[in-house]
Structure 1
Amino acid sequence: MTNAIGVQRATAVELREVTREYGGKHARVCALDGVSLAFPQGTWTAVMGPSGSGKSTLLHCAAGLEHVSSGQVFLAGEDITAASDRELTDLRRREIGFVFQSFNLIGSLTAEQNVALPLKLSGHRVSKKDVRAVLSGVGLADRMRHRPRELSGGQQQRVAIARAMVTRPAVLFADEPTGALDSTSARTVLGLLRQMVDTAGQTIVMVTHDPAAAACADSVVFLSDGRIVDRAVAPSAREVADRLAALEA
């Protein structure tokens, strides 16, 4: 991808002719069918499609959560296609952040402790300064010692984003990050993601069913039956909704 002044961006994640199949030879399901797709550094890509189109499978394969049946996956310039589970776990801890619809916070830990958890699990020294800085960056400087039950849904999602970002990952994968939020909280979270791309150069790959959320991204990729069938650059929410409706018709 080339930006507005003609500078070629490096690629953060790339799938080359990726196929992912499930089941045996008599009941085989092809979730991804020869998908080739590159996610440039410092960009936000939304992935959309009807139910069963392969959105989550694409996200999981790109993040190294699932092995592909054929093809190649490159993450941060490294071919992870044949990596072992241990190698993939180490790579994910170093290069990837995850944000999910369900937040996945630990209820007995404070916001500060939840954010510090990935650092502890990877054996890194936990810097309270870094943890507090990332929480301040998501607007929660005054909520660091609150537990999840003391936070709103939007605040919990912002803690989850801070937790994903504390290791400074090459790519942030988001699976329906606003799906459990009210409209006001969703706008806040989407604004935060936009800021991370524009000011920090973060790369984001987001699966969503919400046209308004997808319209916040730089580009949208549409899947159907495991294949890329459409793309849009900086579309409006109406354009996204119309294209999605055409696929579901």
Structure 2
Amino acid sequence: MTAAKGMTREQQGSRAPAAVELRGVGREYGTGQARVRALDGVSTEFAPGSWTAVMGPSGSGKSTLLHCAAGLEQVSAGQVLLAGQDITAASDAELTALRRGSVGFVFQSFNLIGSLTAEQNVALPLKLGGGRVSTKDVRAVLASVGLDDRRRHRPRELSGGQQQRVAIARAMVTRPAVLFADEPTGALDSGSARTVLGLLRGMVDSAGQTIVMVTHDPAAAASADAVVFLSDGHIVDRAIAPSAAEVAARLARLEA
């Protein structure tokens, strides 16, 4: 059973382990006077089957939190548990294997390969992972994002919203435990953004997908089950099933 909107599995009484857990995580860049502390003792967790938005002013540490949680960056302090594994001291090879099997990524810039068709772009993670590429599975995931009839089109032949849906299909083809999204609607018009957000909502409600999403858009954040607010590397606020107006008001207070 998936988490209802606005209610994590923990709140529903489930004792399932967190899909992602950060324990006292710190992340620093540079040394000496040039040292920057992007995260400072952050502890939080994301329940299976939940969608959490991460927000904050520019420089608050939200993208760093996403990258550390996904194993894209090593933490300077603390622990990160991803899909049940402590990845804090994992080797590059171990992290690569974990990301290929347990993690999906969606970025603002789509990151599709222009010379490949939509179908070939979606199949790419399977090929890179050395596993069997099932045309049936690739087409099924494209169909799930409403693009089965665009599978032979290249990125330049698709709209921005369609390209982002291809990127989501590519992220989901390996059936990841967690989908990390960094500003997934940032480059889209309002109509395409609503389509993408509806697609993500359906993945949570129907398939129990766990999503952690960084966004600057209050409307996008309001589509999630919960919102975590960061400021100066600290989690300073949380909201459960907030409206877009409530998200905007809380963010404005932080930016002030």
Q: Which interval holds the TM-score relative to the shorter structure? A: over 0.9
Distance 1:8 1:83 in 2: 26
Q: For residue 118 of structure 1, what is the aligned residue in structure 2?
A: 125
Cα deviations by residue, 1:9-46 (Å, 9 ceiling, x for unpaired): 43100000000011112321100000001000000000
Distance 2:31 2:231 in 1: 22
Q: Which among 126, 129, 147 is matched to residue 154 of structure 2? A: 147
Q: Secondary structure of 1:72's partner?
A: strand
Q: Which among 47, 51, 56 is matched to residue 54 of structure 2? A: 47
Name the Cα RMSD after superposition: 1.0
- Aligned runs of 1:7-156 on 2, under 5 Å? 7-156=14-163
Unaligned 5+ runs, structure 2: 1-7
Displaced runs of 4 or more, over 2 A: 1-10
1:192 and 2:199 correspond: yes
Distance 1:110 1:30 in 2: 41
Q: For residue 244 of structure 1, what is the aligned residue in structure 2?
A: 251
Q: Is the 8 A contact 2:51 2:211 kept in 1?
A: yes
Partner letter of residue 163 of structure 1? R
Unaligned 5+ runs, structure 1: none
TM-fit CA distance, 1:3? 5.8
Matched positions, count: 249
With structure 2 as the length reference, what TM-score do the two structures score?
0.95
Distance 1:59 1:3 in 2: 21
Q: Which among 208, 216, 230 is matched to residue 209 of structure 1? A: 216
Partner letter of residue 174 of structure 1? A
Distance 2:31 2:93 in 1: 26
Distance 1:115 1:176 in 2: 20
Q: Is the 8 A contact 2:230 2:237 kept in 1?
A: yes
TM-fit CA distance, 1:86? 1.2
Distance 2:211 2:102 in 1: 12
TM-fit CA distance, 1:8? 3.3
Cα deviations by residue, 1:82-123 (Å, 9 ceiling, x for unpaired): 001111111100110000000000000000000000000000
Distance 1:5 1:74, change over 3 A: closer
Q: For residue 239 of structure 2, what is the aligned residue in structure 1?
A: 232
TM-fit CA distance, 1:2? 3.5
Q: For residue 183 of structure 1, what is the aligned residue in structure 2?
A: 190
Q: Secondary structure of 2:32's partner?
A: coil
